[in-house]
């Protein structure tokens, strides 16, 4: 099983010991360490931004907002919600909704999952491949209506679209801009640089850790939910799906092995949790 596999990985064992203690009630003792958080937050790196300059055509320019919708935006407590199956049955919805600003990943559904993941979304990443995967590339009117209805539910939220790395269909672009503020950011290089200083050198950062990084520039305190890239529940040992919204019967996939190194990211976030930099929720919310 996945559980056994993780135990076979020697680097995973110390984490599991600490985790057991954590899950046996210690997590309520988590204390925010503001000094440590300030030392690591991302805004120190904004100075590097001038290194990455892109040329864009007029068409794209006309779609861009005049100013970044997150410019000078500051929030007290932010929730960053990853999509792990650990959220299922967590009852963390109300706690997540009590945050001042909520980041989500990949247009993840909330509607049938309010209890566990909350209702509010202030910013969600939107990778155009979502259109291919869930909306049949908007080929039929039905597909478009479907997509449009789901967009409408997010009204007022910011969509974070990786515009320079993927091709976006023009109509979709227009559709989105008429409804939303959009941030176009391509700061992957920058973010890699940032995490390198934390000894996290990865080929590709996951969406979740990108959102954490963005949050650290905008928020005074960050709480993480749905970050658990393993196929078993640390509280019960039972099997977990990869995503909280995966249909029953879909087995945990190790798809991250191809694109991400989520366990390394997790270990770092877990360490930061221990240092009081960010709060990582791994058990049920009371």
Footprint on residues 29-68 left by ligand CDP (CB under 6 A): none
In whole angstroms, the minimum distance from the beta carbon of 18 to ligand CDP comes to: 18
84 binds ligand CDP (CB under 6 A): yes
User: In this chain, which stretch among 21-29, 66-74, 82-90, 182-190 interacts with ligand CDP, using CB under 6 A?
Assistant: 82-90
Among 42, 101, 242, 270, binds ligand CDP (CB under 6 A): 242
In whole angstroms, the minimum distance from the beta carbon of 62 to ligand CDP comes to: 28
121 binds ligand CDP (CB under 6 A): no
228 binds ligand CDP (CB under 6 A): yes
Q: Let me know if 192 is a catalytic residue.
A: no
In whole angstroms, the minimum distance from the beta carbon of 91 to ligand CDP comes to: 18
- Number of H-type helices and E-type strands within the chain: 13, 7
DSSP string, 46-103: GGGGGG------HHHHHHS-SS-TTTT--EEEEEEE--BGGGTT---HHHHHTSSEEE
118 binds ligand CDP (CB under 6 A): no
What does R_g of the chain's alpha carbons equal in angstroms? Answer: 19
Among 154, 143, 204, 195, which residue's Cα sits nearest to residue 176? 154
User: How far is CA 278 from each of CA 110, 145, 267, rounded to the nearest angstrom?
Assistant: 23, 39, 13
Q: What tokens were used for 214?
A: 């963005």
User: How far is CA 256 from each of CA 57, 234, 259, 261, 263, rounded to the nearest angstrom?
Assistant: 35, 19, 5, 6, 9
82 binds ligand CDP (CB under 6 A): yes
157 binds ligand CDP (CB under 6 A): no
Among 206, 227, 224, which residue's Cα sits nearest to residue 215? 224
Q: Which is nearer to ligand CDP, 137 or 257 (CB)?
A: 257
Among 172, 208, 215, 272, binds ligand CDP (CB under 6 A): 208
Among 78, 123, 262, 272, binds ligand CDP (CB under 6 A): 262
What residues act catalytically?
260
Instruction: Note the residues at the interface with ligand CDP (CB under 6 A).
Output: 82-85, 105-106, 206-209, 226-229, 242-243, 260, 262
């Amino acid at each position: 099983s996945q559980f056994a596999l993780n135990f076979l990985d020697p680097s995973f064992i110390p984490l599991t010991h600490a985790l057991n203690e954590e899950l046996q009630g210690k997590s309520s003792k988590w204390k925010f360490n503001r000094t440590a958080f300030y030392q690591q937050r991302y805004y120190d790196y904004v100075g590097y931004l001038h290194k990455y300059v892109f040329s864009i055509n007029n068409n794209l320019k006309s779609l861009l907002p005049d100013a970044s919708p997150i410019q000078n935006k500051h929030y007290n407590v932010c929730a960053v919600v990853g999509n792990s199956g650990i959220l299922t049955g967590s009852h963390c919805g109300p706690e997540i909704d009590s945050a001042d600003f909520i980041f989500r990943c990949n247009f993840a559904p909330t509607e049938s999952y309010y209890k566990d993941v909350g209702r509010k979304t202030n910013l969600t990443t939107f990778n155009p491949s979502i259109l291919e995967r869930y909306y049949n590339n908007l080929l039929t009117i039905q597909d478009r209506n479907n997509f449009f209805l789901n967009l409408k539910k997010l009204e007022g939220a910011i969509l974070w679209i990786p515009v320079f790395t993927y091709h976006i269909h023009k109509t979709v672009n227009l559709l989105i801009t008429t409804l939303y503020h959009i941030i176009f950011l391509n700061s992957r290089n920058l973010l890699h640089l940032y995490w390198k200083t934390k000894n996290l050198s990865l080929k590709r950062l996951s969406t979740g850790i990108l959102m954490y990084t963005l949050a650290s520039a905008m928020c005074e305190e960050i709480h993480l939910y749905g970050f658990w890239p393993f196929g078993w529940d640390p509280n019960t040992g039972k099997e977990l799906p990869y995503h909280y919204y995966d249909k029953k019967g879909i087995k945990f996939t190790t798809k991250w092995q191809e694109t991400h190194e989520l366990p390394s990211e997790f270990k770092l976030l877990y360490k930061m949790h221990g240092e009081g930099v960010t709060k990582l929720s791994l058990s049920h919310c009371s």
